[in-house]
Structure 1
């Protein structure tokens, strides 16, 4: 516990905290400390402190002990991180910090270059938010694992599905952050040109990401508590008549379209007949040299002329 005592001996909260006098910061520190104890963090064994100022200083002051707590959180969220940290044994501490930042970015908890947050140099409120959300994920994973103590092929299949979903979530997170960076750059360029406020946009984006994170956690909890058993039921049996019904439906739909086309053609024919009958009855002036006459009269006149022309043609050929 020498490291812990060294941290606690650094000084009063006023020496390092920009949130001095802010009760919500100390309340958040107590909540994070309580979550660590509930999860049986081994780094808190033998540590008995209750003073909010001391707890605040322990969690929000840069120290090796604080980084070890964060390292423990990361390994609980992603067990494969243990091998990564083991391979970095003896390497500069910045290497571990970069891995923690990478994991936090994949979990949508921080920016890809937020080393100051992990180091403990960011604002206390931001640090405590980061830790609290990380511990919420640890608690959710603990609840999910408790619902599956059984072994066997089914459990292995579930683990593979969870791993695949985790991979897809990480890819989606990376794309979302890439879009966020691109969007902010575009709006900053627009701000320089037209005075657009990017701070409000960033706040809204953070709120949306936070809401999405909470929805994912809520779904995981509801699935484990209520939906898990239902999802283990066998898939429903589809009736073999399904394709036949679909084919009949498509045939009836085609027949209906054909009948509709017949109706439209019939209506058009009736209108055409009506138009011809009106033209037969109504006198029309065909040209400036002709008298006004009906279509029937005009056709009869043309027929007679054609007959005279045809007769003369036949005589000429004979």
Structure 2
């Protein structure tokens, strides 16, 4: 049976469909026929324009194709549709839109896509994805009626959708994931953070004796923190432009402009005075001057930034070595035992916790 091509005049949007859309529509129509889709069974169309209009224009047959695909992907819809009356066609459309949303193929309640009022490219993409889901099912032979027992083939895809949704919800609600999104890289202990932030310690936490070794180490860490802060202010050009880059750029532009004018003057003299005495043709002046200027500027900035990064890395390594030596250096703290400052601080913390526990009891 041949489908009458004049059952509806093509809309203006369909007339302007590109060759790629026409080929896509023809491919989808052939796939539907290979799957023995009931609404297109026995239907014959040869012109790509007619096929495109048939798949992208609102019609009862087009809704039948989508219904056939949806019920094959998720068979429980067949039982639900069988209980609906003909006047409840809008409910079918909403259920198919809901299935498309659950399969992550379209927005929620996109009834215009099901009815055929959406852009043709969007409609063809939706039909193609439904066909992909149907054909990639491991039970495709049973789904197409080649066996007597037809199972719920779309249940796997729906379960995967819900599982992915739960996984994403659990991931975004995880505190560790939120910390990854907004990291706070601070390797210093909590009791030394006020020093790095230049906050004044309470008088009770300061050592009473300035000659105490702990106080000396804290003062040394304070100096290191101040040096790091000064170094950060000194190396601000790493995050911004190099100081004086505007002056350098203007100088390069002026030099390149003068060079361009000299070349132009030489070409004019060459054409008027020397050309008749020379065999070769007039050399062509390249129009890549501004491009070379911008490349030179970027390369200069990159070179300065790399030098600054190298200096900053060397300084950081030196500071790390100094701090590491201080952490590993053991000395006597009046008790006769040799301990590092980190071990001594932990011992003081434990004694303080024991003291607090005794007070609470």
TM bin (shorter chain): 0.3 to 0.5
Which protein has greater RCO, CA pairs closer than 8 Å, 6+ apart?
Answer: 1
User: Normalising by the residue count of structure 2, what TM-score does the alignment of the two structures yield?
Assistant: 0.42
**Which one has a larger percent helix, Structure 1 or Structure 2?**
1
Calculate the TM-score normalised by the size of structure 1. Answer: 0.47
